[in-house]
Structure 1
């Protein structure tokens, strides 16, 4: 019988990845997730766990930063004032109490869940979502011009103390996000397994055959403003400005914008914002799209402006990604998932705490030529026109996305490796 696993994660995207691996683990055991899994989300309320009735073993709380205190000292201080230290101490106590009874720990995220898993003293595995060698190196392993001398001296995206935690006797497996990072960790004695990136699971990536936009062809663009309020509303205002630029550069093209909005977020502020840009609400509550003779209805409030439609969807995230030729994004995980499908993304920095200039530039290192970072929303239309008219560039973007994000099915492959290690 497979052992019970504690899923330890620190963020909305990390929760979803942990739960997807947990589902694969419970399927191997022939049991319901709540029977063989427990969870401890270190950031937020753990909605991904609750949807599958996975019991939580410790306290949870949403911090003022929304989980991005590692990017800004001011946000960290806000979290400390909001009770971060007391929450972390209580969570560590719950973790130690649970591991004392047996079972294994799967840590998903960055050094925080990795360190807590080590402190729990049980066998643990680590899924690293936050770091990649692509932040420092090209696909062939050469240092990027942006790589600092001290980063070259350290020799890896993962710091020595992080690698130390990965090489402990009770750390039985590490799953990096890409093969470039796997090769680096393996060369430094880490038990690394190149099984792919779980964030692509559930999207069912199809073979992307990119073609330049032809005269008279309709254009579909996905909008990804992020998932945390109030930053998302600020991002949405910038994206609204970019839509004006798109319409100005595609005056003879039928354009559909698909806004993929997190189900937990209210639509009213977003609807009010687009109305200030001259969009008119329609009576229909869905938009029909056609791709490769396959029809799809995207449901949600629909707006119209000149030759364009805009639909705000909260339930069809994968469809919003699949049916678009490009995206305008100010998000983390969602942007990476779109790139993984082999398509170009236009972006511009916001004010944070997540999607600030520093994060945006780091994301270009991570995602390479697939992410086109602009200085301002007003440049969006021109940038889209250039990339969508260049067939060779679109083919390179498709190859780049597959290389950096990998294929679907990683959650199942991780569960199978863990069964070999722990079963």
Structure 2
């Protein structure tokens, strides 16, 4: 069997790669190929899977649905010609037979249907939580926002039509709520979890043993805060500036407690730009790697900065450690914020200027993630939000339960790959 994977975005590429890696472990692994429809598909490099068709980075970075101006920039940058070339590549590949795995939104799904092949769809972009929760439809402010729920699902009728075709053998939504809704239209939807949570925690976590003085130790240990500025320059540098301003407020509010900040920095970012912001705000860099940095992020290349009662660790090599060890996050990111909340932890979000983390994006993300994501209007509000959180243990317990429910358990990529082999081989 031949399988072509279509994905449209960096986050979608990463999810696709996790599923393909699991397929490679299958005893009857298909002959795999891939086509990233957005960007240059760096996530596929090193996987040993051939990439077919044309790839090109667009000016928007893939965020055309948030801003019509970004769409116009992409069209001027050759979007239409790129899309046509990619479609021709998919049709040419399909002529020799095979199946397609579409990962992302309606674009790869439409390509899969137009190919004439059997196909499966991993829906990463949409969730019913954008419109409703288990109690019902969410209240919205404007008429336009309220009209979004009129279609009966976050997936529009033409998207549901594509998912209900006989050639669509399986659909893997983000969460159980979305799966339950799609099944109402006889769509072959399976609730197998969200691959976004794979690779962060082990599928079987170690046992936790509570000590008698655990509560006392908790009040005396450092407050650990994960900083998530996003991964795309130059937006991430502006986000970093806002996050560091928020930290100044935390230093004042928690002046009697030691604070440790874990800066989870994407390798795509220039550390010099981040260092300059820190130095301009009065942070001092330590010359040697501290034991604290080694114990928390296990990265000998990590850099440590200090200011008053606060230490800040910058690392580009310990993303998962930064998520796992943080008590709360200050977040201006997409996937990283969702993964942090999936660990059962709260995040404070500051809307930025975009093109990704705009006020509209942050508001939509707060609907997706529910009470686990706390939106504030500006940086100075972060400290008060964190202080309020840690005064309410019942709220923290609800946040822990909510995160697991909205983002699922680890191991989704393996479960999806096994289901794919069953559904696409039959």
For this structure pair, what is the TM-score category when the shorter chain's length is used for normalisation?
over 0.9
Partner of 1:375: 377
Partner of 1:21: 19
What SS class does the counterpart of residue 283 from structure 1 fall into?
Answer: coil
Partner of 1:189: 186
- Give how far 1:383 is off: 0.8
* Comparing 394-403 and 93-102, the one that deviates more: 93-102
Distance verdict in 2 for CA 1:295–1:70, change over 3 Å: closer
Partner of 1:95: 90
Q: How does 1:145-160 map to 2 (within 5 A)?
A: 145-146=139-140, 148-160=145-157
- Give how far 1:389 is off: 2.5
Question: Which structure 2 segments of 5+ residues have no match?
Answer: none
Alpha-carbon distance between aligned partners in 2 of 1:361 and 1:314, rounded to the nearest angstrom:
28
- Give how far 1:230 is off: 1.1
- Give how far 1:53 is off: 2.7
Partner of 2:287: 283
- Give how far 1:108 is off: 0.6
Aligned length: 414
Partner of 2:298: 297
* 1:134 aligned residue (121, 129, 137): 129
Cα displacement string for residues 187-207 of structure 1 (whole angstroms, at most 9, x for unaligned residues): 111110000001001012648
Alpha-carbon distance between aligned partners in 2 of 1:77 and 1:149, rounded to the nearest angstrom:
28
Alpha-carbon distance between aligned partners in 1 of 2:270 and 2:32, rounded to the nearest angstrom:
31
Partner of 2:411: 409
Distance verdict in 2 for CA 1:285–1:86, change over 3 Å: farther
Alignment of 1:233 onto 2:237? yes
Cα displacement string for residues 170-200 of structure 1 (whole angstroms, at most 9, x for unaligned residues): 1110000000000000011111000000100
Alpha-carbon distance between aligned partners in 1 of 2:81 and 2:94, rounded to the nearest angstrom:
20
* Comparing 208-217 and 71-80, the one that deviates more: 208-217
Please say if residues 246 and 383 of structure 2, whose CA atoms lie closer than 8 Å, have aligned partners that are also in contact.
yes
Alignment of 1:56 onto 2:51? yes
TM-score, normalised to structure 1, is 0.94
Please say if residues 139 and 146 of structure 2, whose CA atoms lie closer than 8 Å, have aligned partners that are also in contact.
no
- Give how far 1:382 is off: 1.1
Alpha-carbon distance between aligned partners in 2 of 1:51 and 1:312, rounded to the nearest angstrom:
26
Q: How does 1:62-211 map to 2 (within 5 A)?
A: 62-140=57-135, 142-146=136-140, 148-204=145-201, 206=205
Alpha-carbon distance between aligned partners in 1 of 2:150 and 2:331, rounded to the nearest angstrom:
34
Question: Which structure 1 segments of 5+ residues have no match?
Answer: none
Q: How does 1:2-13 map to 2 (within 5 A)?
A: 3-13=1-11
Alpha-carbon distance between aligned partners in 2 of 1:208 and 1:328, rounded to the nearest angstrom:
28
- Give how far 1:289 is off: 6.0
What SS class does the counterpart of residue 215 from structure 1 fall into?
Answer: helix
Alignment of 1:354 onto 2:356? yes
* Comparing 403-412 and 266-275, the one that deviates more: 266-275
Please say if residues 208 and 342 of structure 1, whose CA atoms lie closer than 8 Å, have aligned partners that are also in contact.
no
RMSD: 2.0
- Give how far 1:265 is off: 2.0
Please say if residues 232 and 268 of structure 2, whose CA atoms lie closer than 8 Å, have aligned partners that are also in contact.
no
Alpha-carbon distance between aligned partners in 2 of 1:416 and 1:169, rounded to the nearest angstrom:
20
Partner of 2:264: 260
Distance verdict in 2 for CA 1:207–1:341, change over 3 Å: farther
Distance verdict in 2 for CA 1:149–1:326, change over 3 Å: closer
- Give how far 1:287 is off: 5.3
- Give how far 1:153 is off: 2.0
Alpha-carbon distance between aligned partners in 2 of 1:4 and 1:255, rounded to the nearest angstrom:
52
Alpha-carbon distance between aligned partners in 1 of 2:109 and 2:86, rounded to the nearest angstrom:
14
- Give how far 1:6 is off: 1.1
Distance verdict in 2 for CA 1:363–1:208, change over 3 Å: farther
What SS class does the counterpart of residue 288 from structure 1 fall into?
Answer: helix
